[in-house]
């Protein structure tokens, strides 16, 4: 049987990839989506309060709505991990033992959480260490937890954890939350369960079978049942690097139509060079990328 050739394969099922899929369906492009996590990192958000038409929605709920929208258009999402892309006259996408073929590709692979890179970090993963408050907050009812970071993600994680934990420390290396939105800072400051620890870094994870405490570089020690790490993220650039796609500080460079320097490959979302990493921006870039792919296919 002859291998099926898609008009477009989208790699990534976050806001950028799912938005691209919706537009590709409207343009009648024969499209396949690969995404290990539906909604991407946005699915982990405690509350999303700045996405137009929703005054407040959880990341999980928004991801579900994205998935339903794409499903209603008859598009297929595969959860297989893309391991390799080869280009000849068309693109060959490898996922383990399977191969798929496409005329165009949109890379919307997003970012992955940055780790502390400390001893015991991997050992304590799932035993006190977490990178997802939305996933694990309920396991820490009446416990003492910490959050590392000072961004919106860190503050919203702390707010969610405060609904379960008895006390939440926010451990941040600077002397104030200068990166977070004022609205989140105000909510954190009003929450009596949350205690900021400024000018501090976690330098040691202490425990036997699970996390019991952390040591800070100010020589203080905090007893903790859990530590949630929210210190940013890094772009997933293994595939673009192998394809010779031009990067800037690790992020994919695109033109105004989301084209990369490799013909037939477009990119959208947090994996690209952008001044504002927001769901609405990623979704808009996904729409532009799909339109650009459609124009080239005509």
Q: Which two tokens stand for residue 128?
A: 């006190």
Q: Which of 49, 72, 135, 175 is catalytic?
A: 135
Q: How far apart are CA 272 and CA 281, in angstroms?
A: 11
b/e for 250-285, b at 16 or more Cβ within 10 A?
ebbbbeeebbbebebbbbbbbbbebeebbbebbbbb
Is 204:215 a contact under the CB 8 Å cutoff?
A: yes
Q: Which two tokens stand for residue 204?
A: 């040691």
Query: Is 72 annotated as catalytic?
Result: no
Q: How far apart are CA 111 and CA 234, in angstroms?
A: 5
Query: Is 132 annotated as catalytic?
Result: yes
Q: At what angle do helices 152-161 and 182-190 cross, to 10 degrees?
A: 30
Query: Is 255 annotated as catalytic?
Result: no
CA torsion sign for 197, 198, 202, 203 is: negative
- Residues taking part in catalysis: 132, 135-136
């Amino acid at each position: 049987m002859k291998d099926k050739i898609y008009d477009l394969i989208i790699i990534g099922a976050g806001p950028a990839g799912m938005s691209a899929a919706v537009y590709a369906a409207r343009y009648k492009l024969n499209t396949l989506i690969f995404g290990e996590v539906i909604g991407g990192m946005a699915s982990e958000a405690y509350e999303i309060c700045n996405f137009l038409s929703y005054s407040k929605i959880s990341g999980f709920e928004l991801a579900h709505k994205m998935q339903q929208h794409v499903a209603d258009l008859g598009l297929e999402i595969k959860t297989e991990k893309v391991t390799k892309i080869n280009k000849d006259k068309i693109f060959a996408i490898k996922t383990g033992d399977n191969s798929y073929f496409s005329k165009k590709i949109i890379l919307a692979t997003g970012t992955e959480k940055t780790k502390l890179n400390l001893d015991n970090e991997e050992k304590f993963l799932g035993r006190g260490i977490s990178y997802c408050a939305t996933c694990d907050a309920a396991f820490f009812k009446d416990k003492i937890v910490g959050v590392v970071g000072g961004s919106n993600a860190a503050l919203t994680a702390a707010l969610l954890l405060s609904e379960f934990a008895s006390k939440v420390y926010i451990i941040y290396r600077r002397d104030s939350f200068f990166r977070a939105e004022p609205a989140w800072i105000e909510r954190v400051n009003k929450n009596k369960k949350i205690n900021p620890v400024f000018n501090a870094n976690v330098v040691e994870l202490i425990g036997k079978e699970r996390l019991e405490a952390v040591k800070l570089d100010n020589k203080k020690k905090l007893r903790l049942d859990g530590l949630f790490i929210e210190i940013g993220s890094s772009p997933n650039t293994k595939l673009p690097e192998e394809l010779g796609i031009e990067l800037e500080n690790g992020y994919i460079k695109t033109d105004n139509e989301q084209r990369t320097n490799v013909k037939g490959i477009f990119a959208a979302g947090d994996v690209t060079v952008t001044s504002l990493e927001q769901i609405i921006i990623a979704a808009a870039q996904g729409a532009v990328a799909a339109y650009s792919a459609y124009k080239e296919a005509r």
